Amino acid sequence: MAKPVMLTEEGLKRLEEELEVLKGEKRKEIAEKIKVARSYGDLSENSEYDDAKNEQAILEARIADIEASLKNAVLIDESEINNDKVHVGSTVVIKNIATDKEMTVRIVGSNESNPKEMKISDESPVGMGLIGKVVDDVAEIETPGGVVAYKVIEILK
């Protein structure tokens, strides 16, 4: 059985929209590139054709990946999220004990992670270290640069 993919409502919607774009306009766009490249003649020495076919393969792989994620999606009911413990869907204020720096992160499923938006995967070392913690708990997380300790300051909804 495939591993469940944890998604928020927002993440589910984003994946569905991406899938629609990829299956619609992106497929047509690549099919047109292939058609144009074929018109150049000899396919054995046609780099435009090779590039278009590679692009098509990448597109189809992404479509398959999204479809598999959607098939195995487990929707996080954000209305049932409580602030007692950190879990997927929680927004958490944490403090790096060594630097005394605070930051707010959101724990999301791996498909939704985006470090630039401070969305951290539940499968990442930080995400796994924070899951199950309560306010004032300290999570010691193994990173490539050594162990980093984060104190849970607040769990927001």
SS (H, E, C) 28-52: HHHHHHHHHHHCCCCHHHCHHHHHH
Answer whether residue 3 shows pLDDT above 90.
Answer: no
Tell whether pTM > 0.85: no
The whole-number pLDDT of residue 30 equals 94
Tokens found for residue 157: 């909804």
Cα separation, 11 vs 110, in Å, equals 10
What pLDDT shows up at residue 59?
95
Statement: residue 41 has pLDDT above 80? no
Q: Has residue 37 got a pLDDT over 90? A: no
Task: Give burial (CB, 10 Å; 0-12/13-18/19+) of 88.
Answer: buried
Name the DSSP letter for residue 133: -
Q: Are strands 5-7 and 73-75 parallel, antiparallel or unpaired?
A: parallel
The two tokens of residue 83 are 């602030």
Distance CA 77, CA 8 (A): 7
Whether pLDDT at 81 is above 80:
no
Percent of the chain with pLDDT over 90: 57
Angle between helix 47-71 and 9-21 (nearest 10): 150
Tens-place pLDDT, residues 52-80: 999 999 999 999 999 998 998 888 776 66
